[in-house]
Amino acid sequence: MRYTKRIIWRPGIVAAAVFAFLAVVFFTSHTSVRAEVTADKAWAMIEMMELQKTATDWNFYGGYRKGEWVEPCLDGTELVNIFGVTKTSSEWYELAMMYRDDAFSAYYAGDWTTAKDKAEYAKDIFDYLNNYCGQTIGFWKLGEIVTYPLTGNVYIGYEDWYNGDFDYNDFGMKFSVQEIYDKKDYLLEVKMTFTAVVYDSGMDHLIHIRRPFNGDFTYNVSRSVPAYPYYLTLWDGATGIETPAGTYSGSGELDVVLFNTSKYSWPQKEIGETVVVDVILANPELNPKEELTPPRSYFANGTEFFDMAPIMANYDPWEEGTLYECRFHIDDTQVISSTGNQHYTPDIIPTGTETPFILIVPYTDWIPPYEDSTITGPYQYFDDFYMTGMYANWYDPSNLRAGRNNVAYGGISWGPY
């Protein structure tokens, strides 16, 4: 979003204002409360308002067009912004809030200690506007930013062979994405961020991202390190090379080669190399927001369960490698038929268990297992999850097996937590 920000802290009346509003409008319905205000204060709260709302969080942009009730826009120079107010199931988070007045002074409330305080602040601001204008402020939706994960990143880890050691560190990267929709829920832009964190395999891989779209798009690839200029030849003779930084056009399906792991030494940990892929849709109306189902599922006792968020249905961080038959997509799984390569764990994942090749761990800066150490060594409930659907938070460091918070065989790859 194109807000410019100048920051001067000013708690006071603005602070008092904004948050009651949110409580009323978003949890019940909005009612206006009259109070004494002055014109200059009201003029100071201008320009545009945007409400973003999803089932699990709320992010608000707010504002008024000066002196009239017209469709808001994103290009105002005088505005009230209230943004980054996010509520998850039980906790409030807040990111920032800005109020800009006629004199182009901007006021942030980002130092509020809790998001609840910010919610009260936002309500008060809008009540203030209502009072001045003598009518209830309507909310209208200018757009929505879907962020996955809500904060931080997920770990995408690869097991690159059948009946392998299941250490999910053959390659690993952090991932986060923002999808920007307009007020009609049409997709405008997608911004994906990938950061390589581990390469711990005797094989080499091309790590791709594939994302389906409808119609044409342009996309920009930026890199913290210039693209590796050499091709990798795969097990079947196919070749590929990292997509260099630059701006491209495409249509239908996006496919970018993020990393060629042959450039890394073995092992290489906490790599920290970032690739950002920013896609602008030419035809948003062809890309409406849709309800999604996670791209793979499992069954236990006849009950279906999932191991990743629905949004991943649109993101395929697929890989192809130098080992025979190494070409795996997000929906590929294997049913273990031999356990001979599992090591350093008291919990062998039994034959018959269905496991993914590409693991999505929704925990920021997650630390994968040590080389050749089956994931059930440190993360003792991994197998329980994939066998039963229970222990869905198997990845949480609080569930590490006693004595396995160490950097060694049977432990974790770096750390400890």
Tell me which residues touch Ca ion (CB under 5 A): 159, 164-165, 167, 169-170, 200-201
Task: Tell me how far, at minimum, the Cβ of 337 lies from Ca ion, in Å.
Answer: 16
Task: Tell me how far, at minimum, the Cβ of 377 lies from Ca ion, in Å.
Answer: 13
Phi, psi of 323 (to 5 degrees): -80, 145
Closest by CA position to 85, among listed 76, 93, 73: 93
417: number of Cβ within 10 Å: 12
Looking at beta carbons only, is 62 or 164 nearer to Ca ion?
164
Say if residues 323 and 161 touch (Cβ distance below 8 Å). Answer: yes
Looking at beta carbons only, is 177 or 206 nearer to Ca ion?
206
Say if residues 179 and 273 touch (Cβ distance below 8 Å). Answer: no
Say if residues 58 and 50 touch (Cβ distance below 8 Å). Answer: no
* Sequence-ordered strand ranges (E) for 29-104: 50-53, 58-61, 80-87, 92-100
The residue assigned the tokens 């392998």 is 164
Say if residues 21 and 126 touch (Cβ distance below 8 Å). Answer: yes
Task: Tell me how far, at minimum, the Cβ of 319 lies from Ca ion, in Å.
Answer: 12
Looking at beta carbons only, is 59 or 413 nearer to Ca ion?
413
Looking at beta carbons only, is 252 or 267 nearer to Ca ion?
267
In three state form, how does the secondary structure of 261-293 look? Answer: HHHCCCCEEEEEEEEEEEEEECCHHHCECCCCC
Task: Tell me how far, at minimum, the Cβ of 170 lies from Ca ion, in Å.
Answer: 4
Report how far residue 316's alpha carbon sits from residue 108's, in angstroms, rounded to the nearest whole number.
38
Task: Tell me how far, at minimum, the Cβ of 397 lies from Ca ion, in Å.
Answer: 20
Q: What is the largest CA-CA distance in the chain?
A: 77
Task: Tell me how far, at minimum, the Cβ of 367 lies from Ca ion, in Å.
Answer: 14
